[in-house]
Amino acid sequence: MTMTMTTRRFTGHRVLLTGAGRGIGEATARRFAAEGAAVLVTDREPERAERVAAAITEDGGTAEAYGCDVTDDAAVRAAVAHAAETFGGLDTLVNNAYSCHPDPSAFEDLDSAAWYQDIDVTLHGAARCVRAALPHLAAAGGSASIVTVGSVNAERHFGDHAYSAAKAALASLTRTLAVSCAPRGVRVNLVEPGTIRTPAWSGREDALSRVAAHYPLGRVGEPTDIAAAITFLASPDAAWITGITLPVDGGLLISNLGMNEAMRPGAAAE
């Protein structure tokens, strides 16, 4: 993907992204770099991060790769320190790393290890990153931000109990952090994606096609849709926005197309 962005809202900006080795994280790293930011691409699988950073550099952007498991306090602190030392500070943290295990057929059969992993990576991982990054963000002169990737699962039943609970907790954490971080010049916001065409759906393209019918805009999302929202919230365009949860969901949360179809005259007879 060649970087052809003309707007450069992030010249001189320093960004650390977690879970940035593919999907939403990769698209967001590329978008920040295309608009002038220096990005630290982190992922628990270092080779993924290296691939993304190399592609950004090849396209003329500034990026470094760093292996980071967000369940490891020391690894998180090291990644943040590396970003601050390499780039001379930190302006934006993007919390994108997550874990999601599919639900068993009965909740009582849910594996405890899977439950705790989903919570630890998705919720506690973000909290670890915020704790490590805040001193650097607060030193950025009042223009810093944290953007976390949530999910529409926090708002409605779409399955995946542990993942959904963690994403709901992230929305609450966003609101409380927004208030406590405001005096330090750090804005805190969250994006809630709907169904996004990422590698997590590899081999299930037929399911994506069926899901698209439930979206008022008639399609599932692309990673670039979420990258656009994340970079907006991190940009000067959102300088007076903090503590919000922004659904980027093709209208899913405001609709019930399945119910509408069921109530259509003649539907029951077909």
Number of domains in the chain: 1
Q: Could you tell me the pLDDT band of residue 202, with boundaries at 50, 70 and 90?
A: confident
Residue-number span of the structural domain to which 30 is assigned: 14-262
The 3 state secondary structure assigned to 132-177 is HHHHHHHCCCCCEEEEEECCHHHCCCCCCHHHHHHHHHHHHHHHHH
Asked whether residue 21 is assigned to any structural domain, the reply reads yes
Sheet holding 186-193, edge to edge: 62-67, 38-43, 14-17, 92-95, 144-149, 186-193, 245-248
Catalytic site residue from 66, 98, 163, 215: 163
Known catalytic residue at 163: yes
Asked whether residue 248 is assigned to any structural domain, the reply reads yes
Asked whether residue 2 is assigned to any structural domain, the reply reads no
pLDDT value at residue 28? 98
Asked whether residue 6 is assigned to any structural domain, the reply reads no
| pTM score, whole prediction | 0.93
Asked whether residue 69 is assigned to any structural domain, the reply reads yes
Of 193, 200, 201, 255, nearest in space to 224 by CA? 193
**Per-residue pLDDT tens digits for 108-127:** 998 999 999 999 999 999 99
Asked whether residue 104 is assigned to any structural domain, the reply reads yes
pLDDT value at residue 263? 66
Catalytic site residue from 66, 98, 116, 167: 167
Asked whether residue 79 is assigned to any structural domain, the reply reads yes
Q: Could you tell me the pLDDT band of residue 7, with boundaries at 50, 70 and 90?
A: confident
Of 24, 11, 25, 9, nearest in space to 66 by CA? 25
pLDDT value at residue 1? 47
**Per-residue pLDDT tens digits for 140-180:** 999 999 999 999 999 999 989 999 999 999 999 999 999 99
CATH number at residue 108: 3.40.50.720
Asked whether residue 267 is assigned to any structural domain, the reply reads no
**CA dist list (Å): 63 to 16, 60, 67:** 10, 9, 13
